[in-house]
Amino acid sequence: MFRSFLLYLSRQASIFRFVRHNGFAKSMASRFVAGETLDTATAAVAELNAQGITCSLDLLGESVTNAGEARAAGAAYVQLLDAIKAKGLDANVSLKMTAMGQDIDDALCEEIVRSILERAKAHGSFVRLDMESSAYTQRTIDFFEKRLYPDFREHVGIVLQSALRRTFDDTQHAIAIGCRVRLCKGAYLEPADVAFPEKKDVDANYVKCMHALMERGNYPGLATHDPAIIAEAKRFAKERGIAADRFEFQMLYGVRRDLQAQIVREGFRLRVYVPFGTQWYPYLMRRLAERPANVWFITGNILREIGSGSRKRVGSGA
């Protein structure tokens, strides 16, 4: 119930306009978002790289409403790839197709995404197409497979969500064509005809898809903070003799940092998804919805930091 409410709030642009400059909301965001600028984000990446963690940078932004905004987002990604290269960071990028104009015009979206992929290819980098709600699943997979993958094979990959009933079939197909997949549970509230309503089924489907990807997939990204699933991945790798460099774990910036450190200590690969930018509100609300206890946890932290006079803010470089 509270989760649905938080997800409802995540879609309310009027609330974002209200909280955009609110210090308390920005403090909450700073736990999950690496500031509002390219400099704060690349500084966060450098810090993670120093701990042996690779990154995927996400310039926050979702469904844009005009071509100008989409082109600006595309240009910012090209600049981001250049900055990663210039600063020698171990990072790739993740983007949302709706931020590139997917809701405006397919041809425009293709032109923008291809310009990003050309730059990624030139720099030997990689672009992950994040997956949004199930309304976009088929469109995103078709776009990926028909318009991008043939020209940019090792430089582009998709995301599949174990919450969706179709995902095991999509996983098999991705394995058949050899493309790179990030597997996650799925962050969106979905209708029961397309998604499993029960968490235990989402988790079981995750494990089923994960086994297939680990055994036969192309360098899968296992995006989860679920300790039971992570333990199963390690067990399965050992049992099947799958080397630690054939897959990577992926986690979100600021989430389960203890587990992140443990994975690196144990010699597994870890990539942290590092979101940044001014459009942090929907992203923050999805993270809070995943674990409503975060609302109280972060509020408590902020109050303690206010008490000790050391409060951090989005955009402050923290």
Residues found near ligand FAD in the complex (CB under 6 A): 130-131, 159, 161, 184-188, 223-226, 250-252, 255-256, 273, 287, 290-291, 294
Q: Which of 290, 297, 280, 176 is nearest to 223 (CA)?
A: 290
What is the dihedral sign for C-alpha 303, 26, 14, 197? Answer: negative
Phi, psi of 127 (to 5 degrees): -120, 125
Annotated catalytic residue within 31, 58, 128, 130:
130
In the complex, minimum distance from the CB of residue 182 to ligand FAD, in angstroms, rounded to a whole number: 6
Judge contact between 214 and 187, C-beta under 8 A: no
How many CB atoms are located within 10 Å of the residue 301 CB?
Answer: 16
Q: Give whole-number Cα distances, 43 to 93, 119, 170, 206, 273, in Å.
A: 15, 22, 36, 33, 14
Cite the beta strand spans of the chain per DSSP E: 54-59, 91-95, 127-129, 156-161, 180-184, 221-223, 248-252, 270-276
Question: Rounded to whole angstroms, how far apart are CA atoms 55 and 52?
Answer: 10
For the CB of residue 68, give the shortest distance to ligand FAD in the complex, in Å.
25
Nearer to ligand FAD, 70 or 251 (CB): 251
CA-nearest of 37, 16, 51 to 269 is 51
Let me know if 182 is a catalytic residue. Answer: yes
| Dist CA 61 CA 169 (whole Å) | 29
Which residue, 67 or 133, has its beta carbon nearer to ligand FAD? 133
**Cβ closer to ligand FAD: 67 or 219?**
219
Q: Which of 182, 269, 271, 311 is catalytic?
A: 182
Active site residue 130: yes
Would you say 9 or 67 has its CB closer to ligand FAD?
A: 9
Residue tagged 């900055």 (tokens)? 83
Max intra-chain CA distance, the chain: 56
Residue with Cβ nearer ligand FAD (113 or 251): 251
Residue (143 or 273) nearer to ligand FAD, CB: 273
Q: Strand, helix or coil at 130?
A: coil
Min dist. Cβ of residue 144 to ligand FAD (A): 13
What's the closest the beta carbon of residue 273 comes to ligand FAD, in angstroms? 4
H or E element at residue 111: helix 106-122
User: At closest approach, how far in Å is the CB of 49 from ligand FAD?
Assistant: 16
What end-to-end distance do the CA atoms of the chain give, in Å?
Answer: 33
| Phi, psi dihedrals of residue 159, rounded to the nearest 5° | -125, 135
Provide, rounded to whole angstroms, the least separation between the CB of residue 188 and ligand FAD.
6
> Which residues are tagged catalytic?
130, 182
